[in-house]
Amino acid sequence: MKIVADANIPFVKECFSSIGEVEAVPGLEITPAVVSDADCLLVRTVTPVDSGLLAESSVRFVGTVTTGFDHIDVDFVRGEDIGFASMQGSNANSVAEYVIAGLLEIAQKYNLGLEDKSIGVIGVGNIGRRVAEKAAAVGMKVCLNDPPLRRQSGDLKYLPIEELFDCDFITLHTPLTFEGVDKTYHLADEEFFRSLKAGCIFFNTSRGRVVETNALKAAIRGGGLKAVVLDVWEDEPDIDMELLEMVDIGTPHIAGHSLDGRVAGMITIYREACKYFGVESKFDVESFLPEPAVLRLKLNLRDVNEQDVLLEAVKKIYDIKEDDARLRRILDMSAVRKGEFFGRLRRDYPVRREFQNTRIMIADIRQRIADSKKITEKLKGIGFLLSKE
């Protein structure tokens, strides 16, 4: 069996060689000629998969190590009886941790307390649900919007979008869809931003085209938004440089790029491929994840604001400002280099581990029993392991 795989999928050769011969190819170089005699194709978002790529190929199974799959012509794939699998939320925790890191950084920048602030989560799938859980764990009031889930479940906790417009924070976690009653293309348009509470703080980690770029820039210029955090952009990799200069935190579509999430996604696709081809799977996530750089972290609670403690812990594992600084280097580059640089930031992303790999040791826990209990619950709520000294 021949397997063509995006070379940027971690450990893909080591893993998939148990079921076939793996040819690792840069995602942008996966062409009809490359896949013509392949049985299995493994891609990321940079490779559009449609009739133009597959019509003359022998591909029988397509896997994408992404949660969204708007780069896949699913109707064509299924119409040709080709097996298909996506990550199914394997990187959901990675994105949720990114949002928590962004919330804490913005709160520090603007001297805000997150406790009792309201956050509207638009799209409550695998990612949105985890964001909601972590936001609630730090004491935020969470409001949910997901029209398909409301129709399917009848649960009134899924509010009409208009009931989220008065939230202090809004974060988008929808798929990208172009038609139907739940179309999300340019969901965040001029009317959307005009409807938000003055001073709202806006996050987008879903898909770039869910937001209308010019409408967002107008909302920032007009002072309607206090802060903006963007991980996704219209027209990637040729992102809007003016918008990058305007946002508080901008990153190159890497919210879901923790090593834990990427390996979990690869294993999800691997197991689906094994099932499809009728072979035994030999690996799991633990087969490839190395020991984390920070196994234990000691925190001292004496005379420290609990939100500062959360930020200190998070930054020891993931400093979102470093990703922001890396992307801003693009501003000084020539136009011809910008797109390639954006792609390289994603392709060569450094190892980032998730919070659950680190056990936090709390010092001075007897000094402030009530406060220490509260902060330990918040640390656990966003994913850390806890130990008393």
In this structure, the strands spanning 225-230 and 2-6 are unpaired
DSSP lists the bridge partners of residue 63 as: 42, 85
- Residues 215-228 have pLDDT tens digits of 999 999 999 999 99
pLDDT of 87 reads 87
Superfamily of structural domain 296-388: Erythronate-4-phosphate dehydrogenase, dimerisation domain (3.30.1370.170)
Report CA-CA distances (Å) from 200 to 166, 187, 220.
8, 17, 10
DSSP label of 4: E
Q: How far is CA 300 from CA 13, 60, 382, in A?
A: 43, 55, 18
Q: What is the pLDDT of residue 368?
A: 54
3-state DSSP assignment of residue 19: coil
Find the helix packing angle between 306-317 and 369-381, rounded to 10°.
40
Domain range summary for the chain, segments of one domain joined by +:
2-86, 92-250, 296-388
2-86 and 92-250 agree in CATH topology: yes
Task: Please state, in angstroms and rounded to a whole number, the distance separating the CA atoms of residues 280 and 252.
Answer: 36
The answer to whether the CB of 105 falls within 8 A of the CB of 325 is no
Per-residue pLDDT of the chain (389 residues; tens, 9 = 90+): 999 999 999 999 999 999 999 999 999 999 999 999 999 999 998 999 999 999 999 999 999 998 878 899 999 999 999 999 998 889 999 999 999 999 999 999 999 999 999 999 999 999 999 999 999 999 999 999 999 999 999 999 999 999 999 999 999 999 999 999 999 999 999 999 999 999 999 999 999 999 999 999 999 999 999 999 999 999 999 999 999 999 999 999 999 999 999 999 999 999 999 999 999 999 999 999 999 999 999 987 765 788 999 999 999 999 999 999 999 999 999 999 999 999 999 999 999 999 999 999 886 555 555 567 788 899 999 999 997 65
Closest alpha carbon to 11 in 20, 24, 2: 24
pLDDT of residue 72: 95
Active site residues: 207, 236, 253
Q: What is the largest CA-CA distance in the chain?
A: 70
| CA–CA gap between residue 238 and residue 142 (Å, rounded) | 34
Q: What is the pLDDT of residue 88?
A: 81
User: CA-to-CA distance for 14 and 27, rounded, in angstroms?
Assistant: 18
Q: What is the model's pLDDT at position 214?
A: 98
Closest CA to 223 of 207, 255, 246, 245: 246
Asked whether 139 and 115 are in contact (CB, 8 A), the reply is yes
State the Cα–Cα distance between residues 19 and 4, nearest whole angstrom: 12
pLDDT of residue 306: 87
Please report where in the chains the tokens 């987008």 appear, as a residue: 204
Residue 248 CA to residue 257 CA, distance in Å, equals: 20
Burial class for 333, CB neighbours closer than 10 Å (0-12, 13-18, 19+): middle
- pLDDT of res. 365: 52
CA distance 97 to 260: 12
Asked if residue 205 lies in contact with residue 231, where contact means CB atoms within 8 angstroms, the answer is yes
Quick one: CATH architecture of 2-86?
3-Layer(aba) Sandwich (3.40)
**CA nearest neighbour of 47 among 109, 90, 4:** 4
Instruction: Write down the pLDDT at residue 204.
Output: 98
Residue partners of 169: CB distance under 8 A and separation at least 6: 103, 117, 118, 119, 120, 140, 200, 201, 202, 203
Structural domain 92-250, CATH architecture? 3-Layer(aba) Sandwich (3.40)
Closest CA to 9 of 36, 37, 47, 39: 47
CA dist 303 and 318 (Å) reads 24
